[in-house]
Amino acid sequence: MSEAWNRVAGRVPTGLLIGGEWVAGSAGVLEVEDPSTAEAFVEVAAGDESDMLAAVAAAHDAGPAWAATSPRDRAEVLRRAYEAMIEQVDEIATVMVLENGKAYTDAVGEVRYAAEFLRWFSELAAHVHGQSGRAPAGDKRILTNRRPVGVALMVTPWNFPAAMATRKIGPALAAGCTVVLKPAKLTPLTANYVGRLLVEAGVPDGVVNIVTTASAGAPVAAALADDRVRKLSFTGSTEVGRILLEQAARRVVNCSMELGGNAPLVVFDDADIDLAVAGAMVAKMRNAGEACTAANRIYVHEAVAGAFTEELTAAMAAQKVGPGLAEGVEVGPLVDQATRDKVEELVASAVDAGGTIRTGGNRVGERGWFYAPTVISGVEAGSPILGEEIFGPVAPIVTFTSDDEAVAAANDTPFGLAAYVFTGDLARGLNIAERIEAGMVGVNRGLMSDPAAPFGGLKQSGLAREGGTEGLDAYLETQYIAADW
């Protein structure tokens, strides 16, 4: 066991959280690996369908009392959890690095971001209002109430194990919903840490339940088939999202789906190149490229392509790669072998299609899933690397000559989550942003995520929004009462 794990192990429960108790899993245990060594360092409980249904029952039983608490009480629980998360940034970030691999600075950034969702939704909890007014015909009053949807099933990915949990749990608790969280099997420890903090902050038994699984399909399907589950909030791949939407359709479950992306980053001829490179580094390299918002395709006007490529190549080559907890490391290992192998295949396919590697293009080190920051120029339209999420530290560059060509290329994908535009002319940037089919567009910025802003995608990148006020709406239903007095 590593010294880092010894330092934090006592803070991380390894059971399933059901009805306020940490219990053993009916499917045995699940090993958690450190991606920088590819070695398992701890086991956590693995749940099956029976555990999932026990968690659903606990959430259902706790529902009425939680919905009846005052909004201010719910706000204060969330606020205490926010404060605890901020106090324990280092410990949570360390746990996250150990199971996910990301660089410690990325992990600290994520914990702060995750905590902000708890603060934002604690602030909104006391501001949920219905409306009252006379009908246009004057025959009655129209009253509307906002009420909690009910038991919410949450299925989250490994790439942001803390923030994807709090982005869902925060608004659910604020709205008065109860929760069953199914974290990714690669990163159960961060979720359990967050669960413990919530319990310590005063979340009553059964209001938040966590079921880690070694095999997600059957337990999640069992929950979606259960009449007590009224909400699904899923973040993950479009492929799995489609399966869950079909399952949810059978009982018409309310769905929020945050799915895959394929973000274009477009650099126009009038862009400030230093700013564009700095933005591209953030948009590409946050989490070593393992982000749904990661710049996946970089389109650069031919007039500035030479200067941009040179500067981006230098910045990428200067990144320090190594185990996420080591001093000064900016790029940790990828999360597992499959992710590393997919990155390698996509790079090979780009080279086969005529691309030139400017830096990187290789594994790093003897063990763990490290891959060098990579820039590929001269990538042709239609190359496989432009068609799917790379999920790694690889920047493919394509050149263009006109605004229309850039917009058409940016929109040439079934996905529509994020996009980035760099130009010295704000009006041009805003016009282009409106023409791009993406739920979120950064203009002269490589980072957009903010708990107070609506996060989500168009097209096959998802349904509904998280964060902002929309993120709370997703856990509320509107009831209309017609009355006359």
Cβ proximity to ligand NAP, 198 vs 232, nearer residue: 232
Binding residues for ligand NAP restricted to 64-93, rule: CB under 6 A: none
Among residues 190, 235, 313, 449, the one that binds ligand NAP under rule CB under 6 A: 235
Q: Is 389 an interacting residue with respect to ligand NAP (CB under 6 A)?
A: yes
Binding residues for ligand NAP restricted to 326-385, rule: CB under 6 A: none
| Token reading at 263 | 């973000």
292 belongs to the catalytic site: yes
Contact assessment for residue 91 and residue 108, using Cβ atoms and an 8 Å cutoff = no
Residue with tokens 């706790």, as numbered in its chain:
62
What is the nearest approach in angstroms of ligand NAP to the Cβ of residue 421?
20
Cβ proximity to ligand NAP, 175 vs 191, nearer residue: 191
Binding residues for ligand NAP restricted to 3-62, rule: CB under 6 A: none
Q: Is 184 an interacting residue with respect to ligand NAP (CB under 6 A)?
A: yes
- What is the rounded radius of gyration, in angstroms, for the C-alpha atoms of the chain? 23
Q: Is 322 an interacting residue with respect to ligand NAP (CB under 6 A)?
A: no
Q: Is 459 an interacting residue with respect to ligand NAP (CB under 6 A)?
A: no
Among residues 128, 267, 417, 476, the one that binds ligand NAP under rule CB under 6 A: 417
Cβ proximity to ligand NAP, 176 vs 471, nearer residue: 471
Binding residues for ligand NAP restricted to 139-168, rule: CB under 6 A: 155-160, 164
Binding residues for ligand NAP restricted to 279-298, rule: CB under 6 A: 292
258 belongs to the catalytic site: yes
Q: Is 216 an interacting residue with respect to ligand NAP (CB under 6 A)?
A: yes
Measured between alpha carbons, how far is 116 from 451 in angstroms, rounded to an integer? 6
Cβ proximity to ligand NAP, 176 vs 416, nearer residue: 416
Q: Is 462 an interacting residue with respect to ligand NAP (CB under 6 A)?
A: yes
Contact assessment for residue 68 and residue 159, using Cβ atoms and an 8 Å cutoff = no
What is the nearest approach in angstroms of ligand NAP to the Cβ of residue 52?
11
Which of 33, 49, 258, 466 is flagged as catalytic?
258
Determine the length of the chain: 485
Of 232-240, 320-328, 401-409, 430-438, the window that binds ligand NAP (rule: CB under 6 A) is: 232-240
Which of 116, 292, 330, 466 is flagged as catalytic?
292
All residues at 6 or more sequence positions from 74 whose CB lies less than 8 Å from its CB, including other chains = 66, 122, 125, 173, 174, 176
What is the nearest approach in angstroms of ligand NAP to the Cβ of residue 30?
9
Residue type, 105: T
What is the nearest approach in angstroms of ligand NAP to the Cβ of residue 450?
13
The residues with which 415 forms a beta bridge, in sequence order, are 459
Measured between alpha carbons, how far is 394 from 46 in angstroms, rounded to an integer? 34
Q: Is 237 an interacting residue with respect to ligand NAP (CB under 6 A)?
A: yes
Nearest to 232 by CA among 464, 77, 479: 464
| Token reading at 478 | 């509107």
Phi/psi for 309 (5° steps) reads: -60, -40
What is the nearest approach in angstroms of ligand NAP to the Cβ of residue 129?
28
Residue type, 267: V
Q: Is 236 an interacting residue with respect to ligand NAP (CB under 6 A)?
A: yes
Q: Is 261 an interacting residue with respect to ligand NAP (CB under 6 A)?
A: yes
What is the nearest approach in angstroms of ligand NAP to the Cβ of residue 85?
19
Binding residue count for ligand NAP, defined by CB under 6 A: 30
Cβ proximity to ligand NAP, 29 vs 243, nearer residue: 243
Q: Which amino acids are annotated catalytic?
A: 258, 292
What does the binding site for ligand NAP look like in residue numbers (CB under 6 A)? 155-160, 164, 182, 184-186, 213, 216-217, 220, 235-237, 240, 243-244, 258-261, 292, 389, 417, 457, 462
